[in-house]
Amino acid sequence: MQADARGTELILPRAGETLDFGRPVALSMIALLHFLGDEDGAHTVVDRLKEVLAPGSHITLSHVTTDFHSAEVARGADSRYKAGGFTLAPRSRAAFTRFCEGLELVEPGVVLAEEWHPELGEPMPGREEGCTSAIYAGVARKR
């Protein structure tokens, strides 16, 4: 279904037509939350979605950060998104990790995307040593 991520009152009943929320499911929130600012209710959205998940469910998340790049780069990216009518709300590692409160982080926890089990993938060509993706990733499990 296509819907605004903030519309959990529409999303959850529709998803419930297919998913059994009484059993563990996987919720993917890849490259989504950085388009929802705190003023847009980003934490309310995540909290509501976590609330309906059964124990044993997992959430995968990724998020843009400015922890590793200059403020000028961040302002440039923000202005490009705003020109397209989008919000860009990069968050620090600590701010991103708050989305996982009440959940058990799966190892290695919240890390840069390229550090999340790199042994499972191929090295990216042209990737210089020390160059970061500026994207945090994590998987968390509901107890």
How much is the pTM?
Answer: 0.86
34 sits in the region (left: phi over 0; alpha: psi -120 to 50; else beta) called alpha
Condensed to tens digits (0 to 9), the pLDDT of residues 54-83 reads 999 999 999 999 888 766 666 767 778 778
Four-CA torsion 32, 35, 38, 44, nearest 10 degrees: -40
Q: Is residue 84's pLDDT more than 90?
A: no
